[in-house]
């Protein structure tokens, strides 16, 4: 099912609504330290807004603006019609998105106080049925991403990619704690690429019992992001440092990792070298962080090409 003439990127991961609420006081003033075993509090939240979220949607959104060909394979709930309409407006294919009629779309409820402390609750909803999707139904494909999703779905889609001969990037993200060492070693054995932030990568090494060199030695590329310190790419027996691109403003890190991964996938699908691929990914993360939410920033492929040349002194190709 792999087709090197195709640039279609299958994106397996979550679709979610993020409900953002703002409490104008401090949580600490409503919580009594010696009574935390029987908490019963209510916070008045005068402001509430909804953001479109989920790793799969965030990655696809960035990849679409780059001129890539993203294909989201994910699950929505009975309340997902609004998201499908958004994808149609953006020109992102929905043919691999399954609606689970007896569930709600995954939702994250975030309440922040005036000090930006947060209390979060996450309802996985339809995401728990992601294993009902099959990679083999949606070829031909150039590459796939297995991003945070339902546990069973992530396991199944890794096996599906191997069976279909589709190279894939394993990006466990916040779902990494769901898997034990044996399962993580199996993901790495199957994957062509692994991407993680520095904290996740430390956990990955701890759980697998493998060093960075051992993990990198089993992959075409290992990518580790380190925030404002840039990122590292281990490929072809070498360790490459990718510089961070200074942002015009630091507003919200939500979705920066997804924007970065979109750059990686675009580079892979188009045959860029790893230095260029990593620098493109870094630039997209910088563009995203200057905007609130995971899908409110805008750019064009031509604009990114110009910013790339300005930041790195050569043309992206």
What is the SS3 string spanning 2-24? ECCCCCEEEEECCCEEEEEEECC
- The reply to whether 31 falls in a domain is no
**Distance (Å) of CA 144 to CA 115, 308, 317:** 39, 25, 21
273 domain residue, yes or no? yes
Domain presence at residue 277: yes
The average pLDDT across 155-178 equals 97
User: Does residue 257 fall inside a structural domain?
Assistant: yes
Residue 109 domain-assigned (yes or no): no
CATH code of the domain in which 172 resides = 3.40.1190.20
pLDDT at 229 over 70: yes
pLDDT of residue 5: 60
Quick: pLDDT tens for 56-111. 999 999 999 999 999 999 999 999 999 999 999 999 999 999 999 999 999 999 89
Domain with 137 in it: 8-15+55-79+128-310
Give a yes or no: residue 87 inside a domain.
no
Range with the poorest average pLDDT among 39-48, 122-131, 306-315: 39-48
Question: Which pLDDT score is estimated for 3?
Answer: 57
8 Å CB contact between 109 and 41: no
Q: CA 67, CA 45: separation in Å to the nearest integer?
A: 39
Overall pTM surpassing 0.85 (yes/no): yes
Q: Give the pLDDT band of residue 7 (cuts 50, 70, 90).
A: confident
Percent of the chain with pLDDT over 90: 84
Q: What is the distance between the alpha carbons of residues 249 and 37, in angstroms, rounded to a whole number?
A: 41
pLDDT at 163 over 60: yes
When divided into structural domains, the chain yields a total of 1
Residue 251 maps to a domain: yes
pLDDT for residue 263 is more than 90: yes
Residue 252 lies in a domain: yes
């Amino acid at each position: 099912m792999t087709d090197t003439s195709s640039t279609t990127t299958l994106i397996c991961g979550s679709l979610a609504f993020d409900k953002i609420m703002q409490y104008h006081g401090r949580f600490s003033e409503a919580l009594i330290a010696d009574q935390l075993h029987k908490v019963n509090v209510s916070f008045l939240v005068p402001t509430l807004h909804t953001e479109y979220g989920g790793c799969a949607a965030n990655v696809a959104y960035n990849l679409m603006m780059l001129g890539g060909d993203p294909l989201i394979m994910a699950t929505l709930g009975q309340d997902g019609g609004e998201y499908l309409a958004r994808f149609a407006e953006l020109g992102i294919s929905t043919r691999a998105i399954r609606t689970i009629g007896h569930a709600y779309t995954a939702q994250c409820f975030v309440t922040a106080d005036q000090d930006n402390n947060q209390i979060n609750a996450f309802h996985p909803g339809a995401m728990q049925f992601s294993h009902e999707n099959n990679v083999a139904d949606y070829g031909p494909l150039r590459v796939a991403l297995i991003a945070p999703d339902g546990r069973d779905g992530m396991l199944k889609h890794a096996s599906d990619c191997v069976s279909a001969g589709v190279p894939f990037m394993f990006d466990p993200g916040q779902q990494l704690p769901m898997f034990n060492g044996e399962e993580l070693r199996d993901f790495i054995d199957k994957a062509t690429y692994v991407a993680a932030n520095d904290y996740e990568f430390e956990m990955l090494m701890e759980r697998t019992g493998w060093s960075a060199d051992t993990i990198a030695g089993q992959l075409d590329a290992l990518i580790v992001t380190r925030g404002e310190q840039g990122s590292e790419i281990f490929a072809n027996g070498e360790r490459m440092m990718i510089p961070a691109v200074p942002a015009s403003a630091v507003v919200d890190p939500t979705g920066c990792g997804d924007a970065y991964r979109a750059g990686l996938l675009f580079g892979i699908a188009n045959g860029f070298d790893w230095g260029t691929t990593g620098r493109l990914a870094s630039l997209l993360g910088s563009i995203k962080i200057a905007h609130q939410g995971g899908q409110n920033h805008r750019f064009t492929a031509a604009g990114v090409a110009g910013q790339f040349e300005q930041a790195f002194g050569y043309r992206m190709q």
